Chains A and B, each alone.
Chain A
Amino acid sequence: MLLDFHDKLRAAGIPISLTEWLMLMRGMSMGLGTLDIDRFYAFARLALIKNEALYDRFDQVFSLYWTGQTQAFDELIGSLQTPIPSEWLRTLDKDTLSEEQKAQVEAMGGWDKLMETLAKRLEEQTEEHHGGSRWIGTGGTSPFGHGGYNPEGIRIGNGAKRQGKAVKVWEQRQYRDLDGNKQLGTRNFKMALRKLRRLARDGRPDSLDLDTTIRETANKAGLLDIHMRAERQNAIKVLLLIDIGGSMDYHAQVCETLFSAARTEFKRLDTYWFHNFIYEKLWQDNARRHTQTTPTPELLRRFGRDHRLIIVGDATMSPYEIAVPGGSVEHWNEEPGALWLKRLQQAFPHCVWLNPESREWWNNTPSIRMTHELMQKRMYPLSVDGMQEAIDALKVPMSGITLNDQNS
């Protein structure tokens, strides 16, 4: 019965599981949300949608599906064989058009032809809903732009008149702002970063070590001997170097997500920024990047070999910036970036490069190819999957790094 509605929701990219669908069914069989369509809307949203970011999409599908179906709904959902469009189009009466418009309709090949186009357009729109394209009518885009119709003239899908009530909640689309269509939530990143965890007891002993206490107490013939130990904590140390500015601006969002995920996941995280490629200095504060910099050699000295090095950058630049002394776009670098990268690799053999550019492009950009080679193929796309691969790679140290091309 309602399965069609279910399919439509799923087609619009709303994840609905069987559990949730059954919950809706069970609720309705117990009389929840069956009073009228408003209640049904509220209950369906309650049971099916688990993220306010999806409310808007749900509203769209709901209104697309149910507009003009109120009678059908009143017959209690049983007789829903005809999906929307035909019913929908019936609300569109020829009488609502002016003579002039009718003439235009004729010019477009007659009423039926027009309806056909409309029906087709509607179908396309359902499919493209993830893109956030607005559906005809309330969104303000007329499907017949070149036909010259005023969208007010043929308002589709607004059941206001028919039900003698103000615009429905799902037609107001008040949750539009919440639909960020963000796929890369911090959660996904955090889950990936978790794999990097290495739990170790470190720091202040503040929890009771029961086993040792019992053993020692028994050894002392029952005289209580309390032993404490430190709480298990994530002992992994991470050094994060992020490219900023220039071509990286396009990837600012995803980098931010990674950064915030990393910051909550690791207690020992040090972040430094660079521009395009790594040279003799980096900085920690972007506002004061020109006055407060950290020399890269200091980085090499200060952090131990057990640090995991993650470099984030699109590696998209002129190859000179990597290979040639003085190649940097910002300043005169005495030594080429490639050499600095190698030094870093030597100091922190557990290293990877994450690239926000998608993998297909890597081969087309010489500088990415070069960096990929320099990293001994330890470059991964900055996506959840790429992250998984990167984490696996981080477990194995890099080998065979030589600095012998220093003079080349």
Chain B
Amino acid sequence: MSTYITTDDLQLAIDAALTLERPLLIKGEPGTGKTELAIEVARRMGAPLHSWHIKSTTRAQQGLYEYDAVSRLRDSQLGDDKVANIGNYIVKGVLWDAFESEQRAVVLIDEIDKADIEFPNDLLQELDKMSFEVYETRQSISAIKRPLVIITSNNEKELPDAFLRRCFFHYIAFPDRPTMQRIVESHYPEIKHDLLKAAMDVFFDLREVPGLKKKPSTSELLDWLKLLIADDLPAEALGATDIRTVLPRMHGALLKNEQDIHLFERVIFLHKQQNRR
């Protein structure tokens, strides 16, 4: 059974991207399962997944191919016969692999906003035509089956308009309570009902606390529940009656930085003071 819950909107987005063969750009709060989506889509389609995780130093060219000049130089010293053919030193990139796939592949370009500001523009042509030229060998590579390209972004940089025009765009909203319940239940089918309810109360209340630096997200909730289940805590132990009275158990899984915990402690403190008066 699958543990990934898609909404209708998201389903449609994937259908559209498949039908019209356009890249699908996914944005959303951290921890809403942007990367998971590609993995899940590939799994359901039974298609090979090619992931390309972007770093600040990643260049567009690396997704296509790289020419390994150093190896060739070294081989030339050793008198290796391979040297004659430059093709032996072309290292295929993620997109090349995906283009060569007989079966329709899924390409994940993860966190595209991490790269240099020009990065998306450098890929325009390749994603549009699904083909590119290998300069060193004068080869032209084009996709046998146009792969489904899923791109995720965390909004660290804005993407260029020309790039956006060519994509479908879907914003994964933070799941509402019923959806969240389904997500949790798919992960932990055996969870006790009252524990789940208490935990959800705490979780959604916590997200309401103003001024948190990093609001806890789905993945944090899942981690936290895992801890709670492992300890086999009863629902009452969460002190879920009012979030403002006590720091929830194992809060470390939900609040990931000092300032947030401080802030939260202050909220509790203020609340207690108010009650005393």
Residue of B nearest to A191 (CB): B117
**Interface residues of chain A: helix, strand, loop or mixed (majority):** helix
For the complex formed, measure the closest distance between the CB of A316 and the CB atoms of chain B, giving whole angstroms. 30
The interface size of chain B toward A, counting residues with CB under 8 Å, comes to 32
**Is A33 an interface residue when CB atoms closer than 8 A count as contact?**
yes
Residue of B nearest to A185 (CB): B158
CB interface residues, A 203-219, toward B, < 8 Å: 208, 210, 213, 217
**Is A55 an interface residue when CB atoms closer than 8 A count as contact?**
yes
**Is A26 an interface residue when CB atoms closer than 8 A count as contact?**
yes
Enumerate chain A residues within 8 angstroms of B271, measured Cβ to Cβ. none
**Is A269 an interface residue when CB atoms closer than 8 A count as contact?**
no
Residue of A nearest to B158 (CB): A187
**Is A27 an interface residue when CB atoms closer than 8 A count as contact?**
yes
14 contacts between A and B (CB under 8 A): A20-B165, A23-B20, A27-B19, A32-B12, A42-B12, A47-B16, A50-B25, A175-B173, A186-B157, A186-B158, A190-B117, A208-B70, A217-B73, A224-B73
For the complex formed, measure the closest distance between the CB of A189 and the CB atoms of chain B, giving whole angstroms. 10
- The answer for the CA separation of A33 and B12 in the assembled complex, in Å, is 8
- The answer for the CA separation of A191 and B162 in the assembled complex, in Å, is 14
**Is A82 an interface residue when CB atoms closer than 8 A count as contact?**
no
**Is A30 an interface residue when CB atoms closer than 8 A count as contact?**
yes
The CB with the most chain A CB atoms within 10 A, among B12, B19, B161, B166, is that of B12
- The answer for the CA separation of A32 and B8 in the assembled complex, in Å, is 13
**Is B204 an interface residue when CB atoms closer than 8 A count as contact?**
no
**Is B170 an interface residue when CB atoms closer than 8 A count as contact?**
yes
CB interface residues, B 1-48, toward A, < 8 Å: 8-9, 12-13, 15-16, 19-20, 22, 25, 27
Q: Which residues of B contact A (CB under 8 A)?
A: 8-9, 12-13, 15-16, 19-20, 22, 25, 27, 69-70, 73-74, 76-77, 117, 157-161, 164-171, 173
- The answer for the CA separation of A173 and B173 in the assembled complex, in Å, is 12
- The answer for the CA separation of A222 and B77 in the assembled complex, in Å, is 7
In the complex, the answer to whether A224 meets B171 with C-beta atoms within 8 Å is no
- The answer for the CA separation of A13 and B194 in the assembled complex, in Å, is 48
Is the interface on chain A under 10, 10 to 19, 20 to 34, or 35 or more residues?
Answer: 35 or more
In the complex, the answer to whether A46 meets B169 with C-beta atoms within 8 Å is yes
Enumerate chain A residues within 8 angstroms of B20, measured Cβ to Cβ. 23, 26-27, 30, 32
**Is A359 an interface residue when CB atoms closer than 8 A count as contact?**
no
Residue of A nearest to B9 (CB): A42
Residue of B nearest to A169 (CB): B9
Enumerate chain A residues within 8 angstroms of B73, measured Cβ to Cβ. 213, 217, 224, 226
- The answer for the CA separation of A30 and B17 in the assembled complex, in Å, is 12
In the complex, the answer to whether B157 meets A46 with C-beta atoms within 8 Å is no
In the complex, the answer to whether B69 meets A208 with C-beta atoms within 8 Å is yes
**Is A407 an interface residue when CB atoms closer than 8 A count as contact?**
no
Enumerate chain A residues within 8 angstroms of B27, measured Cβ to Cβ. 52
Q: Which 8 pairs of residues, A with B, have the shortest CB-CB distance?
A: A187-B158, A50-B164, A52-B171, A50-B169, A42-B9, A19-B165, A185-B158, A42-B12
In the complex, the answer to whether B12 meets A43 with C-beta atoms within 8 Å is yes
For the complex formed, measure the closest distance between the CB of A15 and the CB atoms of chain B, giving whole angstroms. 8
